[in-house]
Amino acid sequence: MAERSKTDVLTTAGGSRPVASDVPAEMDARKSSRPRVIATEEAFATAEYLDTFLKVASNSPHEGIRYAAMHMTRPDVQKPLTDIEARLADMDAHGVDMHLLSLTSPGVQVFNADLATELAARCNDELVASIRQYPKRLCGLAAVAPQDAKRAAVEIERAIGHLGLNGIIINSHTNGEFLDDAKFFPIFEAAVKHRAPIYIHPTFPPPEMIKPFERYGMHGAIWGFAAECGLHAVRLVLGGVFDRFPDLQIVLGHMGEGLPYWLFRLDNMYVKTITHKNQPPGVVRLNRLPSEYIRSNFHLTTSGMFWNDVLEFAIKTMGIDRVIFAIDYPYETSKMATEFINNAPLSPADKALVLSRNAQKLFNIVDDNSYTTVAES
C-alpha cells in the first residue's frame, strides 16, 4: 500500500460519513491577523481507555498509578479528556486554534503487552476519527506500547504512514525500563523512517526510584515527573542513542525537564569521566558532547512552565526554533498558558515561531491561517 500524505489522509477520511465543518462559515472567510496558536501537549482519553485504566488502578500497589486515577476521575479533568466539544469551546474561549492530542499519561504502558498494543491501536483509531471531524482544530500523536517494541514499530507504520498522525507519544519508562535499551530500537527505527518526533511525557518514577518521592507528594508533577523524565533523556544521550540514530527527534515538555539548566555540567562531568583513568562501568564514548545532542535532537515545549525567565533561558540555550508552545490541557488551564505566551517578551517573528511555526515544521502540521477563533469574532 502506497503511503499517502497527511493532507490526503485527513481530508478523505471517514468513508461515507461527511466531514463536519469545524469552523463557522462566516469565520472561515476571514483572515487572522495574529499567528496561528497550536498547543502541543494536550491530553485526551477514550472512554475505553479510562475504564480499563481505572480497573487496573483500583488493584495497583503503585502509589503513582492510584494517584493518576484519582486525578482522572475529577470532573474538571475527566470531561475535558473525553469531550471534544468541551475542548473546542475552551480553545475558542482562549484563542487556541489547534490542539496536538496525545493519550493521557500513563498511557498504555501500565498494561500487559497484548492489551497495551491492542488498546493503543483502538485509541489511535478514535483519535483519527476526531481529527477527521475537526481537521483544522485537531491533530495528534500516536500511542504505542513499548512492552512489545516490534509491534510498536508496526503501529507506528500504520499510525504515521497510513492514518496520518503527526508523531509518537511515549510516557517515559515502561515497567522501569528506559528507551536506551537496545530492545526498544525498533521504535526508533520506525520513528526515523517516518520522520516522526517522539514526545517523551513524564510518568511517575519506577518502583526502584519512587520511595523517596512518595513523602510530601513529590512523586508527581511537583518534582518526581521532572526527575524521572530528565533521567530518561540523559540516558538517551549518554547511552549513545543519537550516535546510532542521528536523525531521531525527541520532544520534552515543561521547558525540557530541567535539562537546559544542566548543559554545562553534563559536558564538564562527561569529559572528566571519559578522561579519568578509573572510569565507572558502562561509560559510552560519544561522538559529541552531551549538550550538542540536546541542542540538535531535542525540542522543548512550554507545557506547565509559564515563566518568562525560563522561556528566555530555554530560547538562549536551545535556540528559538526548538521551543514550542504547549498548555498541558486539562491539567493546566488554557487561560494561564495563553496569557503567559501572549505577554511573553518576544518579537512578533519569534512569537510566531513558538506559537505555531516550529510545531508545524516538527510535527508536519498543514499551515492554515484561513480562520479566526470564536474569541476573536
Band (pLDDT 50/70/90 cuts) for residue 369 is: low
Q: What does the pLDDT look like over 171-191, one tens digit per residue?
A: 999 999 999 999 999 999 999
Least confident of 72-86, 289-303, 319-333: 72-86
Looking at residue 13, its pLDDT comes to 37
Query: In the predicted model, is pLDDT for residue 231 greater than 70?
Result: yes
Query: In the predicted model, is pLDDT for residue 329 greater than 60?
Result: yes
C-alpha cell at 33: 491577523
Name the burial class of residue 50, with classes exposed (0-12), middle (13-18) and buried (19+) by CB atoms within 10 angstroms of its CB.
middle
C-alpha cell at 19: 466531514
Pick the residue with more confidence: 41 or 2?
41
- Single-letter residue type at 18: P
Query: In the predicted model, is pLDDT for residue 29 greater than 60?
Result: no
Query: In the predicted model, is pLDDT for residue 229 greater than 50?
Result: yes
HSE-CB for 343 with a 13 A CA cutoff: 10
User: Average pLDDT for residues 264-288, to the nearest whole number?
Assistant: 94
Percent of the chain surpassing pLDDT 70: 89
* Total-model pTM: 0.89
Domain limits of the chain? 38-366
Query: In the predicted model, is pLDDT for residue 125 greater than 80?
Result: yes
Q: Quickly list H helices, 42-184.
A: 47-58, 63-72, 75-82, 84-93, 113-133, 149-156
Band (pLDDT 50/70/90 cuts) for residue 18 is: very low
Pick the residue with more confidence: 34 or 332?
332
Query: In the predicted model, is pLDDT for residue 53 greater than 70?
Result: yes
* CA 323, 325, 329, 335 torsion-angle sign: positive
Looking at residue 277, its pLDDT comes to 86
Residue pointed to by grid coordinates 492554515: 368
Q: Determine how β-strand 38-44 pairs with β-strand 98-103.
A: parallel
- Grouping H, G, I as helix, E, B as strand and the rest as coil, residue 301 is strand
**Residues belonging to the active site:** 328
Q: Which CATH architecture describes the domain 38-366?
A: Alpha-Beta Barrel (3.20)
Q: What does the pLDDT look like over 71-123, one tens digit per residue?
A: 788 888 899 999 999 999 999 999 999 999 999 999 999 999 999 999 999 99
C-alpha cell at 110: 501500565
Percent of the chain surpassing pLDDT 90: 78
- Stated as kind and residue range, the H or E segment containing 98 is strand 98-103
Looking at residue 60, its pLDDT comes to 77
